[in-house]
Chain A
Amino acid sequence: MKRIHIVAMLCLVVAVSVVSAAGASAPIGVDTAKERAQDFLNAPDVTVQYQKTERLNLGEYYVFGTGDGQIYVNARTGVIERATFDSARKDCRDVRLDRAAAEATARAYAEEKYSGFAKKSMQLTRSNLVSHGDAGSEYSYIWREESSGVLTPNTVVVNLNPSTGEIVSYIGIQREIECPLEPKLSRDEALKIAAGQFPGIRVTSATADLSVEYTRPDAQTLTWVITMRGEPEDHVLQGGLVVIDAQTGEVLMVSPYL
């Protein structure tokens, strides 16, 4: 009799864990995602319309049109990981905001929309005023979380109108780290492998970053992301981007400059 009770309890525990595990990875459904999109916009009168489901290595997204851009909702977590606001691009030719004001605006938006932004070790990896010619300019701010010298997938991008300070686009990715952060391949070894991908290159400069990337669907890989520039050949810039598995040394991508 006791044995039956124990077996029954074990079955119950297994069943509960299976159900909860399945629940954790199950898609949230379009209707719930739509509510999240509406909440994110903080504008109940805006019509949010489902457009498509998009699958990236990073995960699956429900994409909604808002009439003024798009909202990407993570189909598993319900978190808004991307938003664009077309009307914010209007009148972006004049630069009225100085860099300090623009960065403060971008940071405030990141803190509002990205859960735990202030608590993570987010490094500002880029802050630029980018010109798009007649289409105006935008301030672009990129943060990446750094852990033990490794750039994690946790990133925030805020692009804003330099005249009005309105947010043009937002990206906010938040993931648990699921791969080891200690590389077996050293930086020098990685640079040597990268140079080998461009036979005859006379290297003028190179950067190498340890970065956790989604090189396959839902799978993280610790990589060396290398940008290598060489002297031109036949009036064409040499080098490009090379991504190397930091554990195995396997070359995952070679992407020469155009």
Chain B
Amino acid sequence: MKRWIYMLAALFLLAALPAAASAAPLTHNYDCSDTTPTAYDARVDQAAMYYSSSSSTNAHASTAYSQFRSDAVFFFNGHGLYYDDSHKGGGIKFSSESWILADTDGHYPGTDRYYITDYGTDIRDVLLAVYLACHSSHYNPYNGDLLQQTMNKGADICLGFDGEVEVENGKCWSGSFWDRLRNGETVASAASNAKDDCYLHWPFGYHGVDTYEISGSYNSCLTPARYGVY
């Protein structure tokens, strides 16, 4: 009889394990230019913080837009939107000329477009969204403001870049940023220290990574692993 009770208990525990694993907050990380392996590295750091993380290269915007709904953390590293110096920002570019945009006033870059403004309460569980792209925190009169729209839809923290960032410094910043978050720094501290880490790599200088902007609870940490507050 005792043996049966032990066996039942063991079976119960085994059945509970996958459920516990799948309960870990989800993250998705995207490399969408020559930015590999930043998405993978971010995924490794997030996994160390007990998130259920995944990464991909050259995903389509439709995939990212759909997965965003289930994310605690969303990280994009790729191209930002640029028409001219007066109309830049408000969008991030995925594969096959597909874009995630904050909004539109009738300007439509690329072939497939998905709008943050079209979400209802879908992304209210997002804890942190990071858009590592040129002008990703800049307001564009044509396509809106990615950070503001993401926050309007309920994300807790959103980070983007007002200026121009290039691939190598973006890689440096990303590697350092996620590593520092993993080590328990706040989002604001990790972003700031990551920019100084990049200054010391050649060639000397910030090269745009100092133009990061954070909306929301910038003094939060990513640990313990969790979804955002709504």
- A: residues with CB less than 8 A from B are 56-58, 70, 82, 84, 86, 89, 130-135, 140, 142, 144, 151, 153, 155, 157, 168-169, 171, 173, 211, 213-215, 223, 225, 232, 234-237, 240-241, 243, 253, 255-258
Contacts and interface: CB of A to CB of B under 8 A. Distances in A.
B207 interface: yes
Interface residues of B, number: 53
25 contacts: A84-B192, A89-B189, A132-B192, A132-B218, A133-B214, A133-B215, A135-B214, A151-B204, A155-B204, A171-B199, A171-B200, A214-B202, A223-B203, A235-B82, A235-B83, A237-B164, A241-B166, A241-B169, A243-B202, A255-B166, A255-B169, A257-B79, A257-B134, A257-B164, A258-B132
A163 to B, nearest CB: 15
Contacts of A235: 81-83, 91, 93, 109-110
Nearest to B84: A232
Contact of B200 (A82, A86, A142, A257): A82
A57 B202 contact: yes
B49 interface: no
A256 B34 contact: yes
The 9 closest A-B pairs by CB, nearest first: A133-B213, A255-B168, A235-B109, A135-B218, A255-B166, A237-B82, A135-B214, A213-B202, A240-B166
Chain A interface, DSSP helix/strand/loop, else mixed? strand
B61 interface: no
A135 B188 CA distance: 7
B30 to A, nearest CB: 12
B214 A134 contact: yes
B118 interface: no
B215 A84 contact: no
Contacts of A258: 33, 35, 77-80, 132-134, 164-167, 170
B211 A130 contact: yes
Nearest to A65: B183
Contact of B203 (A84, A132, A142, A211): A211
Nearest to B213: A133
B162 interface: yes
Contacts of A130: 210-211
B19 to A, nearest CB: 37
Counting chain B CB atoms within 10 Å of each CB, the highest count among A168, A236, A256 belongs to A236
Nearest to A221: B202
Interface string B148-167: 00000000000000101111
A21 B162 CA distance: 48
B147 interface: yes
Nearest to A170: B196
A182 to B, nearest CB: 19
Nearest to A125: B205
Interface in B178-230: 188-189, 191-193, 196, 199-207, 210-216, 218
Contact of B82 (A140, A142, A168, A232): A232
Contact of B214 (A58, A132, A211, A237): A132
B126 to A, nearest CB: 16
A236 B82 contact: yes
Given A89-B189, A253-B168, A256-B166, A132 B200 contact: no
Counting chain A CB atoms within 10 Å of each CB, the highest count among B147, B199, B202, B218 belongs to B202
Contacts of A236: 79-82, 93
B210 A140 contact: yes
B137 interface: yes
Nearest to A213: B202
